[in-house]
Structure 1
Amino acid sequence: MPADQKEVVRRFNIEVIQNGNETAFRALMAADFINHSAPQGMPNGPESMWNTFQHVLRPALSHLTVTLHDQISEGDKVTTRKTISGVHTGTFMGVPATGRDVAISVIDIVRVQDGKYAEHWGVNTLPNVLAALSKA
């Protein structure tokens, strides 16, 4: 079971976040998914995750890559330490393109149920990255 759960999370990171595969997103995301890391007052369901990847990350970062450093599985949860990287070639959350390399460090926990993302919690260095880009 833990290996299967880790594979679900690995597939999501590579096929969905890195490659932008909407078919994989639909296959790996539970309809009642909850993103506990969504900003307060913002949508926290499946579509909010897809919109973040497709309308925030992908247009801002060319050569988008997800590097998985560690995965730990216990019970129905998988914790992953990863880096999302790319080149800042488009406006990123209000910051105009700088052409600089970007690396966002992420640690997230995903509850996997029936082979799909059911819940997500995470922390990342995005605020630090945006602050550094805005000083460029």
Structure 2
Amino acid sequence: MARGSGIIERFYREIMEGGNLDLIDQLGSESYTDHEEPMPGQPSGLDGIRFYVDTFRKAFPDIKVKTINPTMTDGDLEAARVVLTGTHKGELMGTAPTGNTVEFGGIDIIRVQDGQVVEHWGATDMLKLMQQIGAVHL
């Protein structure tokens, strides 16, 4: 395995943090398939990526990448663990803004073909996130 090619890092830094949603069409293939469990109301394909980013950017307008590591590639696969931070200033899946600062992470694996992402597998720690905004109490 080698160090990552950077598509995952570009997604989080330029799209999620930077808000450049136009980059989704450049990095993602029209045949894109997401294998991660969708959020309520999330469509499939590239529109699903836009929905995901828009949802998080509205809920956490100051969203920042804390860490992206390790990143690895193997053939046409790239993987990374990502940790994000932000302040809950907008509604998130029915939970009103709390002003709470959050830190949550996830794992992403993508398959790249001809320089574009064609498949994604991932797991976002939504339980930890929802606990931090008070939507879930254990």
Q: TM-score category by the smaller chain?
A: 0.7 to 0.9
1:134 is paired with a residue of what secondary structure?
A: coil
Residue in structure 1 matched with residue 60 of structure 2 by the alignment: 61
Corresponding residue number in structure 2 for 1:95: 95
Q: Distance in 2 between matches of 1:100 and 1:70?
A: 27
- Counterpart residue number, 1:26: 25
* 2:117 match: secondary structure: strand
2:37 matched to which residue of 1?
A: 38
Q: CA deviation at 1:85?
A: 1.5
Partners of 1:42 and 1:53 in 2: how far apart? 11
Shift of 1:49: 1.0
Separation in 2, partners of 1:130, 1:64:
15
Tell me the residue number matched to 1:51: 51
Task: Return 5+ residue gaps in structure 1 as ranges.
Answer: none
Q: Deviations over 1:54-97 (max 9, x none)?
A: 1x101100211123121011111111001121111111111111
Output the aligned Cα RMSD.
2.1
Determine the structure 2 residue equivalent to 1:78: 78
Partner residue in 2 for 1:123: 123
Residue pair 1:76, 1:113 contacting (<8 A) in 2 also? yes
Q: Which runs of no fewer than 5 residues in structure 2 stay unpaired?
A: none
Q: Does structure 2 retain, via aligned residues, the 8 Å contact 1:36–1:44?
A: no
1:42 is displaced (CA, Å) by 5.5
Name the SS for the 1:131 alignment partner: helix
Aligned CA distance change for structure 1 residues 126 and 73 (closer, same or farther; 3 Å): same
SS in 2 for 1:63: coil
CA shift, 1:20, in A, is 1.4
SS in 2 for 1:49: helix
Task: Provide TM-score, normalisation by structure 2.
Answer: 0.85
